[in-house]
Structure 1
Amino acid sequence: MTEAPLMHFAVYLLLLFPVPAAWAARPLGERLPPRLATWLLTVGAVVLASASSLALGVLAITALLRFPLLARLADGRWSAQVAQHHDPASLSVGLLACAVLAAAATAAAVMLWRRVRTLAAAAAEAACMPGHEQLVVVEDPAAEAYALPGLPGRIVVSTGMLDALDSSEHEVLLAHERAHLTHHHYLFVAFTQLAAAANPLLRPLASTTSYTVERWADESAATAVGDRRQVARTVGKAALAAKRTRARGWIPAAALGVLGRFAPTEPGPVPRRVAALLTPPLRNRTLLVAAIVALLLATAVCAFEATRDLEALLDLARHGVARR
């Protein structure tokens, strides 16, 4: 009789992989072109969150298999004794996994509901704005500018922001906000926030994505106007104007703007963005990309192994004998 190799390593590695990913999130956002960094962070967050949830699910199932009551409810289709004998994970680990998985599922469901609700509210607000042009100018002395997703999306700019910038800087501002809408940056932010809700270890990936989408929009604006220094000046002046005029506290939660994720007292990591614009564009770093891809491939392999091992344990418990 052979032992099922269930979860000796694979399932626990799935729970550990988010740790190096979280550690590497900010360096990845700083050293890779922002478009590539945003895609890697988003895909990585979704894959790692799904894999860690799978690992918790596998551990939870092995705990539930040990209860004879469940075996009776399944018409005796498996043997709790056989499952306990062949499962190397302790009951306490399995029960802890049940609790953590329930908490993660609840947090993810709440975050999903919030994001759907905020995006729907943003789309409704965009549709109700006056006129049919993409640009909407609002009378407000506070300096504000943001892109509001919807069908169609709208760019909202206050008169206070327009007064703070000159005509050439207006072009930069609009190019930045158009990039948010054109590339659907709000979806990248939403997906990484959902992943971070399911696995809090992935929060650095979500926060870095909020930065890289702004850097992506900065680079798009630089390409549109052909002057990186002008974009840097515009970003800096917009931040100073917002601080000086103290923009209003309420801005739609789904909005993205030149100042980053909006908060009246924290306009975002503007100095880092300005510094990046004052240096040459970043190039792809093959080794860094390869390391991230390798981590995601290892995650996929471990997920496959954990699933296969769970299937082997279920087969053993179902038949009451081990495969020869």
Structure 2
Amino acid sequence: MRIAVYLPLLLSLVAPLAARPLSERCEPRLATWLLTGLSLVLGTASTTALGLLAVTGLLRIPQLAGLGHWSALSARHHDPARLPVALVAGLLLGCALFTAGRMLWRRARTLAAATLDAACMPARDGTVVVEDDVPDAYALPGLPGRVVVSTGMLHTLDDTEHDILLAHERAHLSAHHYVFVGLAQFGAAANPLLRPLAAAVTYTIERWADESAAGVTGDRRRVARTVGKAALAAHGTPALGRPAGAALGILGRRAPLAKAGPVPRRVAALLAPPLGRHPALTAATAVILTSVTLATAEAAHDLHLLLKSVGAG
């Protein structure tokens, strides 16, 4: 475990730098898959690395080593990890497991509540119209999911823009975008260094839905106008009571327009030619994912050999 165990931790420092290039230069569907994969794999691998380092620390304590019939003296001789490193790794591991477990629990509760809400909503063709002057629209996951639109939003947009709005929200449901967001946030919960990757996923799923709407309507400029128009209409107004963490909508994250950097970026992307797959970025991401996976497997194998050498086998 001399080098391999530290590689996921080191790459966690570097990988977030790829968040902006992937989200801005790659086709949104591919970017979402790559960013989600980076966050999930690096979050899992870095947590595993902390666990492996923590175990080497436990082996150095005679009372604990004796429980597994290991030799603490042999462990000190064979393993290069210092006891302070192992102790710090154990503390970080506890924090990672706690935050990841809490995130999973909250996410499960939110999705369960959203599913229940969606099942109780009377809908026509999967669309629920809410009597509210506040312009808002979002997709609510469920079995089946629902597209929720306020009358304020419907009055803001014309008939063509209604079709774009519905195409955008239905894309969130059909592509299960909430799953990508949840997995990326899980990786970031286990490793806070990966939060830029999770934040980028919340942007790329909106870009993915924008492109889906453009494909359905065949008019990228019209979609760009609808996105901008909806954001301007919602500026300064409170959002509807969305289930936190579950609902996804054309407005993205509700915030003052001055802070809503993703909306102008989405509009600009729609006014430009569609993005390609960018083979260089895709290959670089694949190399990182492969390296992290192999390094984690090698570190786990090294620990197995260490346990055998100190008397486990």
Q: Tell me which interval the TM-score lies in, with the shorter structure as reference length.
A: over 0.9
Which residue number in structure 1 is paired with residue 302 of structure 2? 309
Moved >2 Å (runs of 4+): 71-74, 130-133, 247-250, 261-268
Q: Which amino acid aligns with 1:17?
A: L
TM-score, normalising length from structure 2? 0.96
Q: Which amino acid aligns with 1:56?
A: L
1:34 paired with 2:25, answer: no
Q: CA RMSD, aligned part only? A: 1.4
Which residue number in structure 2 is paired with residue 11 of structure 1? 5
Select between 194-203 and 16-25 the one with higher mean Cα deviation: 16-25
1:152 paired with 2:144, answer: yes
Residue correspondence of structure 1 range 216-255 to structure 2 within 5 A: 216-243=208-235, 246-248=237-239, 250-253=241-244, 254-255=246-247
Residue correspondence of structure 1 range 17-28 to structure 2 within 5 A: 17-28=11-22
Q: CA deviation at 1:72?
A: 2.7
Q: CA deviation at 1:301?
A: 1.6
Contact 1:144 1:247 in 2 (8 A): no
Which residue number in structure 1 is paired with residue 89 of structure 2? 97
Q: Which amino acid aligns with 1:200?
A: P
Cα distance in 2 for partners of 1:267, 1:147 equals 20
Q: 1:127 aligns with which of 102, 110, 119?
A: 119
Q: Which amino acid aligns with 2:267?
A: V
Cα distance in 2 for partners of 1:284, 1:112 equals 31
Which residue number in structure 1 is paired with residue 48 of structure 2? 54
**1:71/1:20 CA distance change after superposition, 3 Å:** closer
Contact 1:189 1:209 in 2 (8 A): yes
Cα distance in 1 for partners of 2:312, 2:140 equals 57
Structure 2, unaligned runs of 5 or more: none
Which residue number in structure 2 is paired with residue 208 of structure 1? 200
Which residue number in structure 2 is paired with residue 4 of structure 1? none
1:194 paired with 2:193, answer: no
The one-character-per-residue Cα deviations of 1:185-224 (angstroms, maximum 9, x if unpaired) are 0000000011100000110010000000000000000000
1:173 paired with 2:165, answer: yes
Cα distance in 2 for partners of 1:316, 1:91 equals 19
Query: What is the number of residues matched between the two proteins?
Result: 311
Identity %: 60
Instruction: Name the SS of the counterpart of 1:17 in structure 2.
Output: helix
TM-score, normalising length from structure 1? 0.93
Select between 64-73 and 33-42 the one with higher mean Cα deviation: 64-73
Structure 1, unaligned runs of 5 or more: 1-6
Which residue number in structure 1 is paired with residue 289 of structure 2? 296
Which residue number in structure 2 is paired with residue 141 of structure 1? 133
1:285 paired with 2:289, answer: no
